[in-house]
Amino acid sequence: MTEQEPSICEQKVYERIFRTHYEAVTRYIYFKCGDIQQAEDIVQNVFVKLWKLCSSVSFSKVKAYLYRAANNAFLNEKEHEKIVLKHLKKVSNPVDHENPEYLMQMEEFHEKLKNAIASLPQKEREVYLLSRVEKKTYAEIAEITGLGVKAIERRMSKALLQLRDVLGKELKFK
């Protein structure tokens, strides 16, 4: 509608938006559904729809539009019964001087952590992963989810508590 703003109907502008936001939105949906293929499908459909509606979405609001539309599309899909975050890989350590026994323990702990995150409720899980994996601030997460910062802090606190409940006994301190 705004003529002076870049029009999303222009292929170049559309591609720029795609390259800027596709990955982040897809990960956000992945954190919700735990299935990277499903996440990609959802977000690609959102972009196809954006192309159809290009003249009615304003450039300055496109980021919020994408997150909101992807979230709605996700809510319309059948919920996954069991979340497995198998695509969440550990950053490998190139040099390792640790002793093998310790490494094995860490490996085990790492698996348990992944399972614990996967079994968090969806709302807490997405906030936790956006914060710890995507390294987003609470304010940024609030913007993405359309919630207030207070609500994000509360979900984060719930997530931390639940992870500690499951994993705390693995960690003994002298």
Partner 1 sequence: MPMEEKYANEDFLARWLAEELSEEELVGFMTSDVYRQLMAIDEEARKLNSPKIDVEKALALVTAKNKQTIKEEPLIKRLRWLSAAAASIALLFAGYTYFFGNVTYTTGIGEKESVLLADGSLIEMNANSSLSYKRFGWEEDRAVDFEGEAFFDVRSGKDFKVRTQKGTISVLGTKFNVRDRKDLKIQCYEGSIVFTPADKELSPSQLSEGMEIYYGDGKINTKDFSGQVPDWKNGFSSFSRQPFSKVLEELALQFPVTFNMDSIQTDRLFTGKFTHNNLENALKTTMEPMGIKYLISADKRIVTLSE
Question: Helix, strand, or coil here: 106?
Answer: helix
Q: From the centroid of its chain, how far is CA 134? A: 7
Cβ of residue 83: shortest distance to partner 1, in angstroms?
14
Residue closer to partner 1, measured from CB, 121 or 168: 168
Q: Give the Cα separation of 39 and 34 in Å (integer).
A: 8
Least distance in Å: CB of 7 to partner 1? 11
Binding footprint of partner 1 on the chain (CB under 8 A): 1-5, 9, 15, 18-19, 22-23, 26-27, 30, 36, 40, 43-44, 47-48, 51-52, 54-55, 58, 60, 87-91, 106, 109-110, 113-114, 117, 128-129, 132-134, 138, 149-150, 153-154, 156-158, 160-161, 163-164, 167-168, 171, 173
Tokens encoding 62: 């496109």
What are the b/e assignments for 51-76, b being 16+ CB within 10 Å? eeebeebebeebbebbbebbbebbee
Provide the minimum distance between the beta carbon of 99 and partner 1 in the complex, in angstroms, as a whole number.
Answer: 18
Min separation Cβ 62 and partner 1, Å: 13
**Cα–Cα dist 144/140, whole Å:** 6
